[in-house]
Structure 1
């Protein structure tokens, strides 16, 4: 897998590749990394999960114990940034909303 920093491509597939890279570097399941990252987002007070198997539940629970390093969180933040203006990403950045001129 290419090192983080541009070789992963763009869009949703690029985000997934970068997320997988961070998970591999931390030796954690992607679900655990996702849970830890979401828990660390400003304003998040709860995380709702919907595992369909015991394995998925374990991955989610591992994310509760995972302390995501600041550098890894910053990389995931960067990978999650969208260049498309929509009501959804407008919630993350009120200056970039489809409902504002």
Structure 2
């Protein structure tokens, strides 16, 4: 039996170098995955917030649409009343033209 370390392992005293490299690469990959998970979680929260904002905006636009439709109907009523009033004013003016002279 010899006291040489190289006989115990074909790769010498640094025979674990490949294992260390593999473990380090696995560690780096796991860290990258963890970082990506955090980024994806943040992106997910952002998308949820945007979805909530879009839903609120949609509801607000729907409410505004109803309000504009009501205003349009009221403007039609006011326009019709104004036309009737203008016709009366014209009638009064035409009928008073001849009597004033």
Check whether TM > 0.5. no
Q: Which has the higher helix share?
A: 2
Q: Which TM-score bucket, shorter chain as reference?
A: under 0.3
When normalised by structure 2's length, the TM-score is 0.17
Where relative contact order (Cα < 8 A, 6+ residues apart) is larger, the structure is: 1
When normalised by structure 1's length, the TM-score is 0.17
